[in-house]
Chain A
Amino acid sequence: EDKVVQSPLSLVVHEGDTVTLNCSYEVTNFRSLLWYKQEKKAPTFLFMLTSSGIEKKSGRLSSILDKKELFSILNITATQTGDSAIYLCAVEAARGSTLGRLYFGRGTQLTVWP
């Protein structure tokens, strides 16, 4: 059965700390791995990763994928209170020639204290 496991499920840090969020997966016909940030509203897209070892970076956030070990990490440096959110990892699995679907993990609830 296809699954995506995120850890930790929750994390509390202080502003300025660096955090690493983990996502491991077991999915047939892997296509891509995506990270989303969800505050008290719609999840918003952060990164899409398809190739191993290539880091994607956006400001203080970065992510990398290891397709051999079937995991990804999301790093946030110099955390701010605005980083408090649920971080969702999703893996796209191919179904047929082009139609894929996303499998989501349960998310990591990050709380950043001032």
Chain B
Amino acid sequence: KAGVTQTPRYLIKTRGQQVTLSCSPISGHRSVSWYQQTPGQGLQFLFEYFSETQRNKGNFPGRFSGRQFSNSRSEMNVSTLELGDSALYLCASSPRPGQGFSGNTIYFGEGSWLTVV
């Protein structure tokens, strides 16, 4: 069974540009959540999608957005990139919404490393 797949794995962008990251969940998983990981802040929750609807959202500015398609694949977009957006962006999938809920363990992808210069 294939794991969570994220593309691209590495990318470099310049300030002001925008970026789109993609996540394909484990087959049969309908919930996808996104996290930003930086050395200073650790893993921070961005948002969670289930059945093409955003179910939960963290405390990030509106420049960060996402969506989910009918096949459960998800994309996140960051517009007007800033240097501080440089991070590892992790996607996680689970069968149902609600991360970690009573054994609804989430499975992480290997992440997309974004560097903003």
Q: What separation, in Å, do the CA atoms of A76 and B4 have in the docked complex?
A: 28
**Any A CB within 8 A of the CB of B87:** no
How many interface residues does A have (CB within 8 Å)? Answer: 25
**Any A CB within 8 A of the CB of B10:** no
Return chain B residues, CB-CB under 8 Å to A88: 42-43
B interface, size bucket: 20 to 34
Q: What separation, in Å, do the CA atoms of A82 and B44 have in the docked complex?
A: 26
- B80-117 contacts to A (CB < 8 Å): 90, 97-103, 105-111
Q: What separation, in Å, do the CA atoms of A112 and B56 have in the docked complex?
A: 37
CB contact between A92 and one of B3, B100, B107, B109 (< 8 Å): that residue? B100
B56 close to A95 (CB less than 8 A): yes
Contact flag A98-B98 (CB < 8 Å), given A105-B42, A107-B42 = yes
Interface string of B5-46 (1 = CB under 8 A from A): 000000000000000000000000000010100001111110
**Any A CB within 8 A of the CB of B75:** no
A42 close to B108 (CB less than 8 A): yes
B42 close to A48 (CB less than 8 A): no
Number of A-B contacts defined by CB within 8 Å: 75
Task: Tell me if A's interface is mostly helix, strand, loop or mixed.
Answer: strand
**Any A CB within 8 A of the CB of B63:** no
B108 close to A43 (CB less than 8 A): yes
Interface string of A30-65 (1 = CB under 8 A from B): 011010100001111100101000000000000000
**Any B CB within 8 A of the CB of A106:** yes
A42 close to B90 (CB less than 8 A): yes
**Any B CB within 8 A of the CB of A74:** no
- A1-57 contacts to B (CB < 8 Å): 31-32, 34, 36, 41-45, 48, 50
Contact flag A101-B45 (CB < 8 Å), given A41-B110, A42-B109, A42-B111 = yes
Closest to A41 in B: B110
Q: What separation, in Å, do the CA atoms of A36 and B45 have in the docked complex?
A: 15
A104 close to B100 (CB less than 8 A): no
10 further A-B contacts with Cβ under 8 Å, apart from A100-B98, A107-B43, are A31-B102, A32-B102, A42-B110, A45-B106, A50-B102, A88-B42, A99-B55, A99-B101, A101-B56, A102-B106
